[in-house]
Amino acid sequence: MKVYTLKLDIDSKSKRVKSEIAKRMVFLQKFLGNKSFKIKEVETKKGYHIEITFKPKIDLDDKDLVFMQLLLLSDWKRELLNWVRVKNNLKNWNVLFNKKFRMKNGKLKLVSEEVRR
Amino acid sequence: MYINEIYAHTIYPARIRIAKWKVPKGLRTLREFLAFYKLKGLSIRRIDHPIAFELYAKFSTRKVFPDELLRDFIVELIKVLLSSHDIRVMFSPELFEYMDYGITRKRTLKAEPPEAYIRYSRDGIYFKEIDITHYLRYVLKMLDTKYKLGVVE
């Protein structure tokens, strides 16, 4: 059995979104037939970065992983681009930043950052 | 040992406005749409701008790569890239200013060789990749002699 990692970029801190993700995760877990999900959650300025490691009974490809990330409410724009990257067989398609910067007048400004707890 | 991954991307934001004019039926391609947009006096400066433009660089260092150095690194890398004729012809220098830059650092025992490429898509469906690892090696060498980061080749 292979180990897979899902990387979710959640742009909301509301409890409703969190409970919706949990609901979907439980369903997905039952559907894939794996015993447990290993979850690592890091808070960001807007929401959360979540890393889920799991061992399903079936083999999955990169497109399946993109679909699952979208199903678990990850940022839709990110997932659309991930899907295009996977479709074009590009490496390193699943990226989550620890820190994000934007350039303004030739200077880099910190836009968002993961908060370690 | 630290593995640093720098990822930069430009994606044009979707600007939704109530149109004062109707888009005629029968526009099938992006090029046709842009030509129509130009007719209305709302043209963008270059129609050959890629829809998605990304830059990826990965390298290992013995010391932590600080955020303050990230700016120097990116500025140097852009300078080196734009000094290359191939890349200057293909992409406008402004594109690098519109980008979002992200960094991820991982602590590991094993170093990984440096790797860098530019990915771009002009139609939003197909991506092309240009290997720029040799430019990255040059910039890393320059920064390493200046800041003693312990870059692993």
Task: State pLDDT tens for residues B68-123.
Answer: 788 788 888 888 888 888 787 788 777 787 788 888 888 888 888 999 999 888 77
Domain boundaries, chain B: 2-12+50-152
Low-confidence winner among A20-34, B13-27, B88-102 (lowest mean pLDDT): B13-27
The whole-angstrom separation of Cα A80 and Cα A67 is 10
Q: pTM higher than 0.80 for the full model?
A: no
Nearest to B97 among A77, A81, A103 (CB): A103
Q: Do A84 and B125 touch (CB under 8 A)?
A: yes
Alpha-carbon distances of A113 from A43, A44, A71, A110, rounded to whole Å: 8, 6, 24, 8
B50 vs B12: CA distance, rounded Å: 9
Chain-chain contact of A98 with B103 (C-beta, under 8 angstroms): yes
Mutate: best of A79, A82, A87, A99, partner B, most B CBs <10 A:
A99
Cβ of B101 within 8 Å of Cβ of A96? The answer is no
**Rounded to 5°, angle at Cα B113 from B3 and A44:** 25
CB < 8 Å from A in window 84-123 of B: 96-105, 119, 121
* Best to test chain B binding among A87, A94, A103, A111 (most B CBs inside 10 Å): A103
Contact B54, B95 (CB under 8 A): no
Please give the residue that has the higher pLDDT: either B102 or A113: B102
Residue type, A29: Q
- Model confidence pLDDT, tens digit, residues B48-60: 567 788 899 999 9
For residue B106, give the H/E element and its range.
Answer: strand B100-107
**For testing contact with chain B, the best of A9, A51, A80, A81 (most B CBs within 10 A):** A81
Distance CA A80, CA B9 (A): 14
Taking the C-alpha atoms of residue B101 and residue B115, their distance in angstroms, rounded to an integer, is 17
- Would you state the structure tokens that stand for residue A22, as one six-digit string? 């949990």
Q: ipTM, 2 decimals?
A: 0.73
Cβ distance B104 to A98 less than 8 Å, yes or no, reads yes
Quickly state the pLDDT bin for A24 (edges 50, 70, 90): very high
CA distance B101 to chain A (A): 5
**φ, ψ for residue A76, nearest 5 deg:** -65, -30
Q: Report yes or no: A31 and A9 within 8 Å, Cβ to Cβ.
A: no
Backbone angles phi, psi at B139, to 5 degrees: -65, -40
pLDDT greater than 80 at residue A25 = yes
Q: Which residues of B touch A95 (CB under 8 A)?
A: 5, 7, 102, 104
